[in-house]
Amino acid sequence: MLAKPKEPRIALPKGWQGCVRSAVLHAIALAHYAIVYARAWAADSINARVRLSAENDQLQEECALLHEELRIKDTRIAQIAPQRRPHYGPVGCNKWNEHFQGFSGGFRRVMVAEAADKA
């Protein structure tokens, strides 16, 4: 048995009639298809300039999506009291320090021993 299709995530006014909502969603879907088709054509183009333009467009869209994601995250975090916000240290900082602290300590011992041998 086929599952019922999920409701679209596009926020449309609730007062609109079903046929108007459907028409708007179909127009959005058609525009999305046209963009995807044009990008696919450009990405597979023989012309290097067109390929680079398509890649540039893709990277700009990805950057815009990341900025939007950060904006949403920052808005949500701002709603949490500062004392209740998560606090994270630098990733891998402790392992990094432990590794090089042992290395530098050994290095210092060798340098001190060599200095003592020369004296």
Q: Is residue 119 part of a domain?
A: no
pLDDT in tens, 34-78: 988 988 888 888 888 888 888 898 899 899 999 999 999 999 989
Does the model's pTM come out above 0.75? Answer: no
Q: Which residue has the higher pLDDT, 6 or 73?
A: 73
- State how many domains the chain has: 1
Q: Is residue 73 part of a domain?
A: yes
Host domain of residue 44: 17-82
Q: Is residue 71 part of a domain?
A: yes
Q: Is residue 51 part of a domain?
A: yes
Q: Is residue 74 part of a domain?
A: yes
User: At residue 64, what is the residue type?
Assistant: A
Q: Is residue 8 part of a domain?
A: no
Q: Is residue 56 part of a domain?
A: yes
Predicted local distance difference test score (pLDDT) of residue 16 = 84
Spatial neighbors of 45 by CB under 8 A, at least 6 apart, are 51, 54
Q: Is residue 108 part of a domain?
A: no
